[in-house]
Amino acid sequence: MAAPPALLTAARLGRGLGLLASVRYYGAIPVPFSVSSPRRRLPAPPPRHVSSSVRRLAATAVSEPQTDSESGTATVRKGRIYHETYGCQMNVNDMEIVLSIMKKEGYNDIVPDPESAEIIFINTCAIRDNAEQKVWQRLNYFWFLKRQWKANVAGGRSKSLRPPKIAVLGCMAERLKEKILVSDKMVDVVCGPDAYRDLPRLLQEVDYGQKGINTLLSLEETYADITPVRISDNSVTAFVSIMRGCNNMCSFCIVPFTRGRERSRPVSSVVREVGELWDAGVKEVMLLGQNVNSYNDTSEVEELEPGKNWQLSEGFSSRCKVKNMGLRFADLLDQLSLEYPEMRFRFTSPHPKDFPDELLYLMRDRYNICKLIHLPAQSGSTEVLERMKRGYTREAYLELVQKIRNVIPDVGLSSDFISGLIV
């Protein structure tokens, strides 16, 4: 689906996850991979007629024999990975999921520079124009490494074993799709946020002279069974995604078109991942979601409540109605804070409409839930808020702020505002 016409071109704005401007995250040592449930297999691609010479070349490209310096035996290297991430914390966590999927398929080596890689992943942002322009600049350089590979190796610039495969991931891949693939043929693979399980197959397609593309959005994919490979494995903080997508359809925002509809991970899978992080020495977890406090796990509740019982913040409305109500964000926070009393918990980014009283009182009473709320306002004008389709007025927002301060006196508040909106 195309982005709405109200999308700002000078600065693509969205109520994102505390967006970071063009931040690069480099590779780190992977941690052990574990899976709690079977992987969902995507259907195999239709057979293609490929010449025998191309097949022999592809077989050579798929794996390069390497000699183990200690044992002297030959091992198979599928390709070393270099990765860069732009945008929000969710993109950082998505890259950790990608690395875990690739590790399961035998891609174990992560390198700190693109000149040494046979596979280059660039995870993209479609919210801010500055991040998107930076991605195009980096793609030009990666294309140079690929196009001039022989000369670069001869001159000592490149240390890769073959021309790198270049894959664009994330929201920009979802928004631009074919445009990225046809741009001077610089990109080999385009993969949207819900198709990361398909990456190994898409990379194999490149070996047979094809372009790999999968930007299908899912109503179910949460990657709940995948244990991410932590990029900063020695850090005492970590990101944990608890839900994906957005149902709000604000007039200025592209997120529903690049991330799809809202779906939540089972509570048990979130608790399991947090437990693994605690065992690894992590002391603080940031719970992530495009609308993190709209969390609604209906997978582990025997008798669901009707969606009409969904309680919104007083004075707020929602354009998208909840069909069934399961375990809400307060239920998840309650279980996590009790099960891991020495772990600190934060969350981002919430929507102001989903702050029922029980969530506020839980934050007040649990010492290990940080007293910090990011409360995106987007505008201080009721007229502009109506054009934004935010579902509240200036007065309702200010009343919510006052209520939060009354319940949690020492709370810290932050916000987002958009200026120059044209709708």
**CATH code at position 301:** 3.80.30.20
pLDDT tier, 179 (very low <50, low <70, confident <90, very high otherwise): confident
**pLDDT-based confidence at 294, cuts 50/70/90?**
very high
Give Cα separations from 201 to 94, 158, 367 (angstroms): 18, 26, 46
Q: Which domain range does residue 380 map to?
A: 237-414
Q: 15 lies in a domain?
A: no
pLDDT for residue 408: 97
Same domain, 205 and 276: no
Residue 423 pLDDT: 62
Q: Please give the tally of structural domains in the chain.
A: 2
Specify the pLDDT at position 32. Answer: 36
Is there a single domain that holds both residue 265 and residue 355? yes
For the chain, the first-to-last Cα distance in angstroms comes to 19
Residue 340 and residue 191 in one domain: no
| Co-location of 210 and 295 in the same domain | no
Q: Is residue 3 part of a domain?
A: no
pLDDT score at 41:
44
Residue 208 belongs to some domain of the structure: yes
What is the average pLDDT score of the chain? Answer: 83
Q: How many CA atoms lie within 13 A of 156 on its CB side?
A: 0
What is the rounded average pLDDT of the residues 114-124? 96
Share of the chain above pLDDT 90, in %: 65
Higher-pLDDT residue of 309 and 227 is 227
> Do 337 and 380 lie in a common domain?
yes
**Residue 24: pLDDT over 80:** no
Which pLDDT score, from 0 to 100, does residue 132 have?
83
The H or E element containing residue 166 is strand 165-170
Q: Rounded to an integer, what is the distance from CA 70 to the centroid of its chain?
A: 38
Which pLDDT value is given to residue 8?
A: 38
**35 close to 231: Cβ distance less than 8 angstroms:** no
Listed in order, strand segments (DSSP E) in 252-332 are 263-264, 284-288, 296-297, 305-306, 324-325, 327-328
What CATH number does residue 181 fall under? 3.40.50.12160
Tell me the whole-structure pTM to 2 decimals. 0.79
Q: Report if residue 164 sits inside a domain.
A: yes
Domain termination site, one of 214, 249, 273: 214
pLDDT at residue 58 in the model: 43
Segment 159-177, tens digit of pLDDT: 999 999 999 999 988 888 7
**Co-location of 209 and 292 in the same domain:** no
- 230 lies in some domain: no
Asked if residue 138 is part of any domain, the answer here is: yes
The residue ranking higher by pLDDT, 405 or 34, is 405
Query: Do residues 180 and 274 both lie within one domain?
Result: no
Token pair recorded at residue 354: 């989903």
One domain for residues 188 and 262: no
Choose the final residue of a domain: 179, 214, 249: 214
Same domain, 198 and 88: yes
